[in-house]
Structure 1
Amino acid sequence: MDQLPWVLLGIRAAPKADLEASSAQLVYGTSLVLPGEFWPASTSEPSRRSATELESALRHLLPVPTQFHGTTHSHVPRTLQSTDFVFVRRDRKPHPLVSPYEGPFKVVRRDEKYFTLLVRGKEERVSLDRLKPAFVNNPP
């Protein structure tokens, strides 16, 4: 717990390679003042004991590089590739007591990111992110 403020300071002050800025620069518009910058060059240095303690505490903290900001990973059920019928998530906000999915609809063709479904007698391409497998006993 004693090291948590230093960890948070390091996270906020560390520049992110993909953003080309630190978190503090994005929030405050400027860099954070780090502990070594508190003492101007004209004044005496802090006591040797506190500098040694600070150095030993900071030596154990290593920055963790960040990557892949803004990417989202969608969950695609494994059974989606083998099912014959699927439910389609509605894009609009559902009213209370209304199912968020429509269907089931028959799968006509499977592509890498889209399924072609038979919806009300017409073929429609629907993204995998909106699909959920349907297990139907008696197909419509």
Structure 2
Amino acid sequence: MVYGSLIRIPGDAFFKKTEQKDSDIPQFVSDVKQYMNRLKPVQIAHKVKQTPFVYKDLSMSTHTFVRIDMIKKLLEPPCEGPYKVVERIPNFFGLKMKDQLKNISIDRLKPAYLLKEDIKLPEDTPVSPPPQDKQPEDKNPRTSRLGQVIRFPTRLVEVVQ
């Protein structure tokens, strides 16, 4: 609508302006009904069904977390687990949950990245302790004015001495 222009009623937009008489009103009503009956709904574009997000590492993971699909209380974790993967079916994974095999959809799964210490090995497998990096102790430790010992990185020890 533009300031200063005339306001049009919807009938003016559809039909030509002609002078109408009281005898033309039934004809006008029937024309409007016919016009409205010819109108068809506009075709809508159907949305494409989105595929669920699946982690790339899920196909190779030995353990997974399972997303909890319910309303959670405050500070409640969003996932349960980790659970061991027993079998892989295209859209489902068989997980060992509480001594039972349950099939869970892959869109609820998240791969678990476990450390070697966290994975339980059979008892007959020897486990070696992780290597520890030991820094050679300095025979003449340098101290600050406040008496704190200053430790330089090993790559800089030769430069400082």
TM-score by length of 1: 0.53
Q: CA deviation at 1:129?
A: 1.2
Q: 2:15 corresponds to which letter in structure 1? A: P
Candidates 73, 82, 97, aligned match of 1:95: 73
With CA pairs under 8 Å and 6+ residues apart, which has the higher RCO, 1 or 2? 1
Mark the structure with the bigger radius of gyration.
2
- Runs ≥4 residues deviating over 4 A: none
| Identity %, equivalent residues | 31
TM-score by length of 2: 0.47
Question: In 2, distance between residues paired with 1:66 and 1:39?
Answer: 27
Question: In 2, distance between residues paired with 1:120 and 1:39?
Answer: 70
Question: Quick check: which one's helix share is greater?
Answer: 1
Q: CA deviation at 1:39?
A: 4.6
Tell me how many residue pairs correspond in the alignment: 85
Alignment of 1:41-60 (within 5 A): 41-42=16-17
Candidates 13, 23, 27, aligned match of 1:38: 13
Q: Secondary structure at the match of 2:119?
A: coil
Aligned to 2:50: 72
Question: In 1, distance between residues paired with 2:14 and 2:102?
Answer: 67
Q: 2:95 corresponds to which letter in structure 1? A: L
Q: Deviations over 1:62-101 (max 9, x none)?
A: xxx83435x2321111111111100001122111111010
Long gaps (5+) in structure 1: 1-34, 44-64
Long gaps (5+) in structure 2: 1-9, 19-43, 121-161
2:98 is equivalent to residue 123 of structure 1: no
Give the RMSD, CA atoms, in angstroms. Answer: 2.6
